[in-house]
Structure 1
Amino acid sequence: MRGTHLLLSLLLISGFQTVSAQVDTARSGTYAFNLNDCIQYGITHHHDVVNAHLDVNFSKEQVKEATAKLFPHVNISGSFNDNLKLQTSLIPDFINGNLNEKIPVQFGTRFASSITGEIDQTIFNSDYFLGLKASRVYTDLSSKTLTRTNIDTKVAITKAYYAVLTSQESIRLTKSNLQQLTKTLQDTKSRYDQGVAERVDVDRIQVSYNNTVTQVGNQIRTLVYTLQLLKFQMGMPQENQLELIETVNDLKVEDYAGDTVNYRPEDRIEYGIQNTQIALNELQLKSKKLQYLPQLAGFVNYGWNYFSADFKELYKHGFGASVLGVNLTWPIFAGTERLHQIRENQITVKKSQNDLDYLVQQIQVEVKNANTSYQNNKDNFVTAKKNMDLTQGIYDRIVLKYDQGVSTSLDVLSAENELTAARTDYINAMLNILVSKTDLDKATGRIK
C-alpha cells in the first residue's frame, strides 16, 4: 500500500532506443512502442506541439503580410449623385453690367457620376521596413518556442514512460513475493492438517497473503493510471492500446552518469528565446527613433466624370482626368510624446538584458540543484538495490528454516514485511533516479 501511494505522489509531483516499433494504426489502433517511439509520436500529435507548429505557420504569414505592404496598392472608387435640388449661389450681374447687384444661379447638372482607379506606392516608410525585419525575428521566436514545446513534451513523455516501467517492475516483484507466499501458505495448511503446525500460523500467513493480493490489485490500478497518463502526454487517444516493449532492465540505470562540467547556459533554448526577445525590443526602440524621418509615397490615378440633366443620357459622354504625384509627410514636432516613448523603450531593452543575465544565474542554480538531486537519488538507488538483494536473501533463508521447522511463522512474516519495504524503497529509488536524470538532462540543455 505504501508503495502505491508513494508512486502516485511521485507521478503527480513530476507533472508529467533501441528497438524498432511494431505499429498497426490503420486497423486496431494498437501500438508497441519504446521510449523513442513514444517521443516521436508525442512531438507529432501532442496538443501543445501541434499549436506551436501552427504558431510558426502564423508567423510566416505575418512575414508575407509585412512584405505585401511594400507592393503597389490599387484602388477603384466610384460615385453616383442625384442632385435633387441644385445648390444656388449669388454672383454679380455680369450680363447687364450691374456688378453691384447679385443674381441667383445654379451650377451643375442633376445627375453626376465618376469612376477613378488609383495606384499607390510607398517609396519610403521606416515602419514598413522595420516591420518586415521584426516579423522575421518573430518567426525566429516562434520557431524557438516550438523547440521549447518539443523539449517540454519530451520530458513529460519520458517521465510518464519511466513511471509505467517502474509500475510494471513493482507488480513483477510483488507477484514474485505472492508466489512464494502462496507456496508457504499451502505448506503451512498441509502441516496444520498433519498436526505439525498450529492454526495461528495458518492465519498469520493468510493475512500476509491477503494483503499482498490487495497490493497487487492496487499496483495494477496504478499501472493503468500511469499508462493513461503516458498516452495523454503523447497526445494519443485513450481508447488506443499502448504496449511498451522495454523493461527497466533495458534502461541500465546503474550505468547512468551525470555530467555538469561541459554544459553551457547558451545550450538552453530559454537563452535563445530571451536573446530573440531582446532583438524585438531593440527593433521597437529603433522604430520609435525613426518616426522622426519623413514618409514618402507616390500615386497615379485616372478616372472619368459623367454629367447629365437626364439619367438616360448620363453615361453617353465621359470626361477623363488623371493625376500623377507624390505625398510627403514629415512629422517635425508632435510635442514630447515620442521622446518619452523612446526612453520607455530604452528602459524595456535594459530590462530584457537584465532578464538575460538573471536567466543565466537561474540556469546555473537549476543545474546545481538537478545534479545534487540526481547524485543523491543515484546513491539511494544503489543502496536500495543492495538492501533489496540482502533482504531477499534473508527472506529465502527464513522460509527455508520455516520449512525445516526451525523458525516460526512470525519470523516469516517479519522477513516478508522487510522484503516488501525494501522492494518499495527500490522501486521509488528507481523512479527517482530516472526522473532526476531527465531533469538534469533538461537543465544542462542535452534534450534538444
Structure 2
Amino acid sequence: MRCTLLLMATLFLSGIHATYGQMDTTRGNYAFNLAECIQYGITHHHDVVNANLDTIFSQEQVKEATAKLFPHGNITGNFTDNLKLPTSLIPDIANGNYNKKIPVQFGTRLSSSITGELDQVLFRSDYFIGLKASRVYRGLSVKTYVRTEIDTRVAITKAYYAVLTNQENIRLSRANLEQLRKTFSDTKARYDAGVAERVDVDRIAVSYNNSVTQIENQIRLLVYSIQLLKFQMGMPQESGLELRETVQDLNVESFSSDTLNYKVEDRIEYGIQTTQIALDELNLKSKKLAYLPQLNFYVNYGFNYFSTYLPDLYKRNFGASALGINLTWPIFTGTERLHQIKELGITLQKSRNDLDFLSQQIKLEVQNANTAYENNKATFVTQKTNMALTQGIYDRIVLKFEQGVATSLDVISAESELTQARTDYINAMLNTLISKTDLDKAMGRIK
C-alpha cells in the first residue's frame, strides 16, 4: 500500500512537471527573457501608462500657456426693456426760465446691442514666466515618468529573479527526490529479500513523502511568483508566461559592484529635485515681476438698436467702434506681496537644502546597498560550496547504506542536511540578485 502511494505521488509530480514545462503557445502565451519582460512592462504597466499620460498632459499645458499670448476675441450682446424710463431735471430752456427745473425722460423703452471685441496682451510679466514654468514643469513630468519606469524595471527584475530561483529550487529538489526514490526502491527490494529491516523502509518512506510534499509546495510558490511577475509587468493573469532563461544564464558569480565610478547626478531623483528648484526660482521671479505694469491693446465694433416697439427694434442700427490701450500698474497692494516674495524665497532655500540632503542620502544608499550586495554574494559563494560538499556527503552515505555499513538514520540525517543546504543556497542566490538590483538602482545605473 505504501509503495502504491509513493508511486502515485511520483506520477503526480511528473504530471505537474510536464504541464509546467510544455506551456501552450497556441493561445497567444508568451516566452520572454528578462529584457522582454521589462519591455512588456514598460508598455503595459498601469503606473507607466499613467505616467506617460501625465507627460502628454504636461505638453498640453505648455500649449495652453502659449495660447494665452494669442489674441482673444469675444462677442457680447444684450437686450434691455426699460419698463419705466429714468427721469432727469433740466432747466426750462424753451420758456427762457433757466431757474426752473422741469422733468424730462431720455431714451427709448427698448434697446439692444451686439459688439465684437479683440484683445491682445502687449506686456504681462507673468505670461512669459508662466510659459517658461510650464516648459520646466513638462521636464519634471518627463523625469517623473523616467522614475516610474525605473521603479517598474526594478520590480519586474526582482520578480523575474524570484521565478528563476524557484525554478532552480524545484530542479534541485527533483534531482534529490529521484535519488531518494531509488534508495527507497532498493531498500524495499532488500527488505523483500530479507536483508533489510522494516524500520529502514519506513524511515526512508517518511523522508520521501516529506520531499514530495515539499516539491508540491515549491510548485505552488512558483505559480504565485509567476503571477506576481505578470502583475509587475501589467500582463493579464489569464495569459501564459514562460521564461527563456535559467539561473545558469545569469552567471551570478561574475557580477561586480564598481561603486567608484558613479555620480549622484545619475540618479533620477537628483534631476527631479533640480527641476523643482528651477520651478521655485521661476515662482519667485514671477512674484517679483508682478510689480511691473500690464499693457493690453483692444479694438471693438458693434451695433446699437433702439425702438419703442419690439417689432421695430431691429429695423435700424447705429454702428459703434473703438480701439485703445489699457495700462494697469499695481503701485501699492499693501505688504501682502512683499511677504509672499519672502515665503517663496524660503521655499526655494528649502528646495536647495533638500538637494544637498538628497546627495548625502544617495551616497549612504549606495554604501548600504554595496555592503548588502557584497555580504550576500560572499554568502552565496559559501553556500554554493557547502551545497556541493553536502551533496557529496549525501551520495557517500547513500552508497554506504546500500553496502550495509551505514544506517537509515544516517541517510535521513544526510538528506535533511542536503535539504537545508539547498534552501540556504537558493536564498543566498535570490538575496544576491535582489541586492545587486538595489545597488544598480542606488547608483543610477538602471535607466
Q: Take 2:310 and 2:338, find their aligned partners in 1: how far apart are those partners?
A: 57
Q: Take 2:266 and 2:126, find their aligned partners in 1: how far apart are those partners?
A: 34
**Counterpart for residue 317 of structure 2:** 318
**Counterpart for residue 387 of structure 2:** 388
**Counterpart for residue 68 of structure 1:** 67
**Counterpart for residue 35 of structure 2:** 36
**Counterpart for residue 123 of structure 1:** 122
Q: Take 2:158 and 2:334, find their aligned partners in 1: how far apart are those partners?
A: 58
Give the superposition deviation at 1:24. Answer: 10
**Counterpart for residue 413 of structure 2:** 414
Residues 345 and 433 (structure 1), Cα distance of their counterparts in 2 relative to 1, 3 Å cut: same
Paired residue type of 2:328: T
> CA offsets, 1:333-365, max 9 Å, x none?
111111111111111111100100000000000
**Counterpart for residue 6 of structure 2:** none
Q: Take 2:219 and 2:280, find their aligned partners in 1: how far apart are those partners?
A: 53
TM-score (ref. length: structure 2) = 0.94
Give the superposition deviation at 1:321. Answer: 0.8
Paired residue type of 1:250: D
Q: Take 1:348 and 1:113, find their aligned partners in 2: how far apart are those partners?
A: 53
Paired residue type of 1:256: F
> CA offsets, 1:48-72, max 9 Å, x none?
0000000000000000000000000
Q: SS of the counterpart of 1:28?
A: coil
Q: How many residue pairs end up in the alignment? A: 425
Q: Take 1:419 and 1:310, find their aligned partners in 2: how far apart are those partners?
A: 107
> CA offsets, 1:284-316, max 9 Å, x none?
000110011001101000111011112222112
Q: 5 Å matches for 1:83-102?
A: 83-102=82-101
Q: SS of the counterpart of 1:250?
A: helix
**Counterpart for residue 188 of structure 2:** 189
Q: Take 2:159 and 2:83, find their aligned partners in 1: how far apart are those partners?
A: 79
Paired residue type of 1:399: V
Q: SS of the counterpart of 1:304?
A: strand
Paired residue type of 1:195: G
> CA offsets, 1:376-431, max 9 Å, x none?
00100000000000000010011111111111000100110010000000000000
Paired residue type of 2:119: D
Paired residue type of 2:65: A
**Counterpart for residue 152 of structure 2:** 153
Q: SS of the counterpart of 2:91?
A: strand
**Counterpart for residue 287 of structure 1:** 286
**Counterpart for residue 134 of structure 1:** 133
Give the superposition deviation at 1:97. Answer: 2.0
**Counterpart for residue 447 of structure 1:** 446
Residues 273 and 24 (structure 1), Cα distance of their counterparts in 2 relative to 1, 3 Å cut: farther
Q: SS of the counterpart of 2:107?
A: coil
Q: SS of the counterpart of 1:237?
A: coil
Structure 1 position 375 matched with structure 2 position 364: no
- RMSD across aligned positions (CA): 1.2
**Counterpart for residue 241 of structure 1:** 240
Residues 93 and 65 (structure 1), Cα distance of their counterparts in 2 relative to 1, 3 Å cut: same
Unaligned runs of 5+ in 2: 1-22
**Counterpart for residue 345 of structure 1:** 344
**Counterpart for residue 4 of structure 1:** none
**Counterpart for residue 49 of structure 2:** 50
Aligned partners of 1:82 and 1:110 also within 8 Å: yes
Paired residue type of 1:111: L
Unaligned runs of 5+ in 1: 1-22
Aligned partners of 1:24 and 1:31 also within 8 Å: no
TM-score (ref. length: structure 1) = 0.93
Paired residue type of 1:109: T
Q: SS of the counterpart of 2:260?
A: coil
**Counterpart for residue 201 of structure 2:** 202
**Counterpart for residue 258 of structure 1:** 257
> CA offsets, 1:256-291, max 9 Å, x none?
111100000011111110000000000000011001
Q: Take 1:440 and 1:234, find their aligned partners in 2: how far apart are those partners?
A: 21
Aligned partners of 1:119 and 1:299 also within 8 Å: yes
Paired residue type of 2:340: Q
Structure 1 window deviating more from structure 2 (360-369 vs 193-202): it is 193-202
**Counterpart for residue 214 of structure 1:** 213
**Counterpart for residue 82 of structure 1:** 81
Give the superposition deviation at 1:96. Answer: 1.7
**Counterpart for residue 396 of structure 2:** 397
Give the superposition deviation at 1:85. Answer: 2.1
Give the superposition deviation at 1:105. Answer: 1.8
Q: SS of the counterpart of 1:95?
A: coil
Give the superposition deviation at 1:98. Answer: 2.3
Give the superposition deviation at 1:172. Answer: 0.6
Q: Take 2:32 and 2:238, find their aligned partners in 1: how far apart are those partners?
A: 16
> CA offsets, 1:16-50, max 9 Å, x none?
xxxxxxx999x723000000000000000000000
Q: Take 1:110 and 1:290, find their aligned partners in 2: how far apart are those partners?
A: 49
Q: Take 2:238 and 2:24, find their aligned partners in 1: how far apart are those partners?
A: 14
Paired residue type of 1:62: Q
Q: Take 2:140 and 2:24, find their aligned partners in 1: how far apart are those partners?
A: 37
Give the superposition deviation at 1:91. Answer: 2.2
Q: Percent identity?
A: 75
Q: Take 1:338 and 1:112, find their aligned partners in 2: how far apart are those partners?
A: 44
Q: SS of the counterpart of 2:422?
A: helix
**Counterpart for residue 428 of structure 1:** 427
Q: SS of the counterpart of 1:121?
A: strand
Q: Take 2:32 and 2:75, find their aligned partners in 1: how far apart are those partners?
A: 61
Paired residue type of 1:213: V
Q: Take 2:361 and 2:63, find their aligned partners in 1: how far apart are those partners?
A: 37
Q: Take 2:57 and 2:216, find their aligned partners in 1: how far apart are those partners?
A: 49
Paired residue type of 2:320: A
Paired residue type of 1:260: T
Structure 1 window deviating more from structure 2 (181-190 vs 428-437): it is 181-190
Aligned partners of 1:296 and 1:329 also within 8 Å: yes
Paired residue type of 1:428: N
